[in-house]
Amino acid sequence: MAPRYYTVTWDQLHRDGKALAWRLVDKGPWKGIVAITRGGLIPAAIVARELDCRLIESASVITYDEEAIGEPRVAKSPIAAGDGEGWLILDDLVDTGTTARIVRALLPRAHFATVYAKPAGKPMVDTFVTEVSQDTWILFPWDTEPQFVAPIAKSAAGAAS
């Protein structure tokens, strides 16, 4: 079955990031935020602003090459966060949970939050905003650009011939 695509706009990501901050505000205070790069950088900035948190660390786990899942590897560890006590880990999405498992092993005492969660990865996070189906590929605003799209009627007419 072909994957489904769900396009997230900058405005929607900002609204969803603020919604995540609302869910996290009473769970703090936080010593800092660990942004999982690259997808967690922008949600971490939004949440950091809303929670008035200025200490930002990063963790880089490489799992994807375009849309293909590869062997995960840690490219940068979040050294400043210690074992994660009092820290908030932020990512854009938990998909299969591969990245989440790796970062949880690095920071076992941290609170893990994502903006979006798929069923396979959902048990790995403590807080999220929106669940999407496992076969949905989320197109984030940094992965897309606005362009013309033909009206559905014109697309359907061409497909019928």
Percent of the chain at pLDDT > 90 equals: 77
Strand order in the sheet with 56-65: 68-76, 56-65, 32-37, 87-94, 111-117, 127-131
Convert the pLDDT of each residue in 113-125 to its tens digit: 999 999 999 999 9
Q: Bridge partners of 137?
A: 5
Q: Higher model confidence: residue 9 or residue 71?
A: 9
> How remote is the C-alpha of 143 from its chain's centroid?
13
Distance CA 10, CA 141 (A): 6
Say if residue 45's pLDDT is above 80. Answer: yes
Convert the pLDDT of each residue in 24-41 to its tens digit: 999 999 999 999 999 999
Domains annotated on the chain, with CATH: 4-160 (3.40.50.2020)
11 is annotated as an active-site residue: no
Active-site residue, from 26, 83, 95, 126: 95
92 is annotated as an active-site residue: yes
Give the DSSP H/E element, type plus range, for residue 23: helix 10-24
91 is annotated as an active-site residue: yes
Convert the pLDDT of each residue in 53-82 to its tens digit: 999 999 999 876 666 667 888 999 999 999
